[in-house]
């Protein structure tokens, strides 16, 4: 047996991924992965289905969530692994974020209509399906269907990105509150793609170091396609200095949904996975799916 391939960042149709949790797990097994973490945005909704498929096909699933947070007005994504999914405070926080997502829908539809791209409610609904966590990628898929853009990337590049003309803000949890919620639920907290996109401006090396030293943050997602090689080296050295766990994941959202970001394109070592599992067990978290 070779080294296990471990991808600790994937999404399903429970949030803005294209594959159902079951299909995602089958694709992961076909891609040669032995462990994946399902980290849907602001919801645990995909984990039940993932659990039944995992047992059926013999793939290991680490339960996760990717929480929409904000620090100093800038979006920061936080991965929580092994959280107790019945934790009241964490669920209340996630519910607040999801309701902010829902509240944004009509404003986005109005904005897009003003920009000449009306999105009929039923077209959007067909892409959201039963996801409780509606997001910009669902709008992007509707825009593709309506012929306004050719793929999700073009939808973001021209219209939906944080700087784009169709961007509408929504509620996100304060970053440090989200760290506490993850630990309060027995989970392990890893900051997602910290030096990619925008969050680099509010997550400097000193701040990350202090969070890890104070026990507020467990790990840093170093290996992610938002980080080029130089960024990965710099972040790995920050992690090495403060003792942060170094993780990696694909941030897969479905084939062709984001250029790159294919299953298993970034991975996490078996030693780090074991340490995550130990910390979850010690903190009374939940490793089962
Ligand atoms: P939202 O959750 O509504 O704030 O939308 C953010 C999500 O959009 C991210 O989690 C990504 O899944 C997705 N996203 C961001 N940028 C892009 C892009 N350039 N191409 C495809 N998807 C993207
Ligand atoms: Fe996403
Ligand atoms: Fe993210
Ligand atoms: Zn993600």
Expressed in angstroms and rounded, the spacing between residue 257 Cα and the centre of ligand 2 is 10
Q: Report the sign of the C-alpha dihedral through residues 271, 274, 276, 282, in that order.
A: negative
| Closest atom of ligand 1 to CA, residue 153 | 20
Band of residue 2 on the pLDDT scale cut at 50, 70, 90: low
| Closest atom of ligand 1 to CA, residue 139 | 3
Look up the pTM and report it: 0.97
At a CB cut-off of 8 Å and minimum separation 6, what does 242 contact?
208, 209, 212, 213
Describe the chain by its helix, strand, coil percentages, rounded to 5.
45, 15, 40
At a CB cut-off of 8 Å and minimum separation 6, what does 211 contact?
179, 217
pLDDT in tens, 216-267: 999 999 999 999 999 999 999 999 999 999 999 999 999 878 878 999 999 9
Expressed in angstroms and rounded, the spacing between residue 1 Cα and the centre of ligand 3 is 32
pLDDT value, residue 256 = 77
| Closest atom of ligand 1 to CA, residue 258 | 21
| Closest atom of ligand 1 to CA, residue 133 | 2
> What residues line ligand 1, using a CB cutoff of 6 Å?
16, 41, 135-137, 152-153, 156, 253, 258
Considering only CA atoms, which residue is closest to atom 16 of ligand 1?
156
Given a cut of 90, whether residue 283 has pLDDT beyond it is yes
Residues having C-beta closer than 5 Å to ion ligand 2: 16
Residue of 136, 167, 256, 257 best suited for mutating to test ligand 1, as the one with most atoms within 8 Å of CB: 136
Expressed in angstroms and rounded, the spacing between residue 194 Cα and the centre of ligand 3 is 9
Band of residue 198 on the pLDDT scale cut at 50, 70, 90: confident
pLDDT in tens, 141-191: 999 999 999 999 999 999 999 999 999 999 999 999 999 999 999 999 999
Indicate the helix (H) or strand (E) that contains 170: none
Q: Which long-range contacts (CB under 8 A, 24 or more apart) does 199-203 make?
A: 199/71, 199/74, 199/75, 199/76, 199/77, 201/74, 202/71, 202/72, 202/74, 202/76, 203/71, 203/76
Considering only CA atoms, which residue is closest to atom 18 of ligand 1?
153
| Closest atom of ligand 1 to CA, residue 137 | 8
- Tokens, residue 140: 């992007």
pLDDT in tens, 50-103: 999 999 999 999 999 999 999 999 999 999 999 999 999 999 999 999 999 999
Given a cut of 50, whether residue 1 has pLDDT beyond it is no
């Amino acid at each position: 047996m070779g080294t296990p391939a471990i991808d600790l960042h994937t999404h399903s149709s429970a949030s803005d991924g294209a594959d159902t949790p079951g299909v995602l797990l089958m694709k992961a097994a076909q891609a040669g992965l032995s462990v994946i973490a399902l980290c849907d945005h602001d919801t645990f909704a995909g984990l039940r289905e993932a659990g039944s498929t995992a047992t059926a096909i013999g793939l290991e699933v680490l339960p996760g969530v990717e929480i929409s947070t904000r620090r100093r007005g800038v979006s920061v994504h936080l991965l929580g692994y092994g959280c107790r999914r019945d934790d009241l405070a964490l669920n209340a926080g996630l519910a607040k974020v999801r309701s902010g997502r829902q509240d944004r829908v009509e404003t986005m539809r109005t904005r897009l209509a003003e920009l000449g791209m009306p999105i009929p409610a039923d077209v959007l609904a067909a892409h959201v399906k039963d996801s409780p966590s509606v997001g910009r990628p669902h709008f992007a898929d509707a825009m593709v269907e309506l012929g306004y853009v050719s793929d999700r990337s073009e939808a973001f590049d021209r219209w939906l990105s944080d700087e784009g003309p169709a961007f509408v803000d929504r509620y996100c949890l304060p970053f440090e509150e989200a760290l506490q919620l993850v630990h309060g639920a027995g989970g392990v907290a890893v900051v997602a793609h910290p030096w990619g996109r925008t969050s680099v401006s509010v997550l400097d090396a000193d701040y990350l170091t202090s969070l890890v030293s104070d026990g507020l943050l467990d790990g840093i997602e170093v290996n992610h396609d938002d980080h080029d090689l130089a960024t990965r080296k710099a972040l790995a050295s920050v992690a090495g200095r403060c003792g942060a766990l170094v993780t990696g994941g694909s941030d897969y959202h479905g084939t062709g949904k984001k250029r790159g970001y294919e299953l298993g394109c970034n991975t996490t070592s078996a030693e780090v996975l074991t340490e995550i599992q130990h910390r979850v067990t010690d903190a009374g978290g939940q490793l089962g799916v």
